[in-house]
């Protein structure tokens, strides 16, 4: 079980980095435009002003960079790898993991806006699962994902997500604890 959790962590690490990176790149004014272009659905924002093209770009790029490093260190870390990084296209895998994570987050934001849940307000368990489910669905078009990995992803990152949010809050990177 520990081996599965470790392999799952390593595999989804680029998606987790992509999910965190929009907050880290807020200081860059480039592409700071809402993905929904401030349009509304039923009188409410589609995604909200926090979902920007900048976040999509840098989130996806950080995922690609993370997959690149996974490939570079594959020889030394093949024992904790779910996939053979020497046989995958790092750009495809990085885009699917990174964009998938951010797409899952945007879809969750759509439902939050429609339910009048303010941006930044906690919505358990969806705030913890959105990026995991989004990245797994997107990457499953490229790589077969077992139900064990899906379950391990939800358990592992579902628990780690609130911990990383707390760390971000105490480091003054995030405004809310959860």
pLDDT, one tens digit per residue, over 91-139 is: 999 999 999 999 999 999 999 999 999 888 889 889 889 999 999 999 9
Q: Select from 3, 16, 10 the least CA-distant residue to 129.
A: 16
**H helix intervals, 115-146:** 126-139
pLDDT digits (tens, 9 = 90+) for 56-101: 999 999 999 999 999 999 999 999 999 999 999 999 999 999 999 9
Provide the token pair at 135: 């990245």
Q: Select from 18, 8, 56 the least CA-distant residue to 157.
A: 8
Q: In Å, how far are 35, 45, 109 from 39, measured between CA atoms?
A: 9, 6, 14
Query: Whole-model pTM?
Result: 0.89
Q: Select from 55, 23, 50 the least CA-distant residue to 164.
A: 23
Provide the token pair at 173: 């990177």
pLDDT band at 178 (very low <50, low <70, confident <90, very high): low
pLDDT digits (tens, 9 = 90+) for 153-171: 999 987 887 787 778 778 8
Euclidean distance between CA atoms 8 and 13, whole angstroms: 8
Q: Select from 61, 15, 5, 26 the least CA-distant residue to 168.
A: 26
Euclidean distance between CA atoms 69 and 31, whole angstroms: 26
Non-local CB neighbours of 60 within 8 Å, separated by 6+ positions: 18, 94, 95, 98, 99, 102
* Bond before 125 cis per omega within 30 degrees: yes
Mean pLDDT value of segment 9-30: 94
């Amino acid at each position: 079980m520990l081996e599965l959790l470790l392999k799952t962590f390593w595999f989804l690490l680029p998606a987790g980095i992509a999910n965190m990176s929009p907050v880290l790149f807020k200081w860059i004014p480039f592409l700071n435009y809402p993905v929904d272009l401030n349009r509304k659905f039923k009188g409410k924002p589609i995604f909200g002003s926090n979902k920007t093209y900048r976040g999509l770009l840098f989130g996806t790029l950080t995922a690609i960079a993370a997959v690149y490093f996974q490939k570079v260190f594959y020889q030394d870390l093949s024992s904790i790898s779910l996939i053979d990084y020497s046989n995958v296209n790092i750009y495809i895998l990085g885009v699917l993991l990174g964009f998938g994570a951010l797409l899952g987050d945007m879809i969750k934001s759509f439902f939050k806006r429609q339910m009048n849940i303010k941006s930044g307000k906690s919505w358990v368990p969806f705030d913890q699962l959105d990026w995991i489910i989004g990245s797994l669905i997107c990457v499953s078009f490229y790589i077969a994902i077992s139900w064990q990995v899906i379950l391990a992803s939800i358990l592992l990152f579902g628990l780690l997500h609130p911990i990383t949010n707390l760390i971000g809050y105490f480091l003054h990177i995030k405004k809310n604890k959860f």
